[in-house]
Amino acid sequence: AVFGALRAGLVVVNTNPLYTAREMRHQFKDAGVRALVYLNVFGKLVEEVLPDTRIEYLIEARMGDLLPALKGWLVNSVVKSVKKMVPDYRLPQALPFRQALKQGQGHALQPVRVGLEDVAVLQYTGGTTGVSKGAMLTHGNLV
């Protein structure tokens, strides 16, 4: 998802899924996040934070999504039903990750011009001395 976003000319905003709702809400609002790819085990947190943000697009990934069919089904079933790691939540607007990949297969890549000085990632600090702040990392920083 990260490389796809970078190739599309988007700015990636990494977040710590262990953040509290307040911390995550601050980061999403501060960065102006409009799309979110998240792991379903954090769906409840996303559901809580979503109304206070400008996020319009949700893509929900599961741990077994990129594994072969049977193995992926097994991993997803164990995570949800045996380990009980997926809480109850409701995000009907979320697009499953595998479905997003399928929808994208029919589209040709439209080249996006990005330079070494263009922002690639907005990486938030740990917030140890106060509220976390976004550090702008350019494409040149990442090469």
- Give the domains, in start order, of the chain with CATH numbers: 2-142 (3.40.50.980)
Write out pLDDT tens, residues 5-30.
999 999 999 999 889 999 999 999 99
What Å distances lie between residue 78 and 10, 31, 60, CA to CA?
34, 35, 17
Q: Which carries the bigger pLDDT value, residue 109 or residue 58?
A: 58
Q: If you count DSSP H runs as helices and E runs as strands, how many of each does the chain have, helices first?
A: 6, 5
Task: State the average pLDDT over residues 65-70.
Answer: 97
Within 10 Å of residue 55's Cβ, how many Cβ atoms?
Answer: 18
Total residues found in the chain within this entry: 143
For residue 66, the 8-state DSSP code is T
Average pLDDT over residues 41-63: 97
Q: How confident is the model at residue 111 (pLDDT cuts 50, 70, 90)?
A: confident
- 118 touches 139 (CB < 8 A): yes
